[in-house]
Structure 1
Amino acid sequence: MKIVLDRPRCEGHGLCEEAAPDLMHLDNDGELIIDREEIGDAETAAAHAAVRMCPVAALRLA
């Protein structure tokens, strides 16, 4: 499974980072950086939570 970011949609709210800090973070300019696109079984719950938390639906799992 992998995390896909629709960068133009992302507004940098940071809720996804709170839900999955090991998978993504906001840089100093407020841009979301996906640290690990490919996720393992251990991170699946956090990845799903990050996708659900995004208020502009900029994340999805593929």
Structure 2
Amino acid sequence: MRIEADRAKCDGLGMCEAMAPDFFEVGADGTVAVLDEHSGEEHRQDVTAAVDACPVLALKVRD
């Protein structure tokens, strides 16, 4: 599983960081950084929930 972030779309609302802080962080510039782009299957549920919670659809999970 690979996590992708479109920083141009990101509004820095932090929903992803709140739901999966091991994988997402909103920086001082107000956009998301993916802390670990490649996640194991054991984290799929948390990462997918964070991706689905993004109100501006700036995040994706690819297999």
TM-score of the two chains, using structure 2 as the length reference: 0.90
- How many residues align? The count is 62
Report the counterpart of residue 4 of structure 1 in structure 2. Answer: 4
Runs of 4+, deviation exceeding 3 Å: none
Write the distance in 2 (CA, Å) between the matches of 1:8 and 1:29: 12
Q: Tell me which amino acid in the other structure corresponds to 1:41.
A: E
Superposition CA RMSD, Å:
0.9
> Following TM superposition, by how much is the alpha carbon of 1:29 offset from its aligned partner in structure 2, in angstroms?
2.5
Structure 1, gaps ≥5 residues long: none
Report the counterpart of residue 58 of structure 1 in structure 2. Answer: 58
Deviations 1:20-62 (A, max 9, x none): 1011111122221110000001211111011110000000111
Q: Could you say what secondary structure the match of 2:47 adopts?
A: helix
Alignment of 1:14-33 (within 5 A): 14-33=14-33
TM-score of the two chains, using structure 1 as the length reference: 0.92
- The answer to whether the Cα contact below 8 Å between 2:48 and 2:61 also exists between their aligned partners in 1 is yes
- Structure 1 vs Structure 2: percent identity of aligned residues? 39
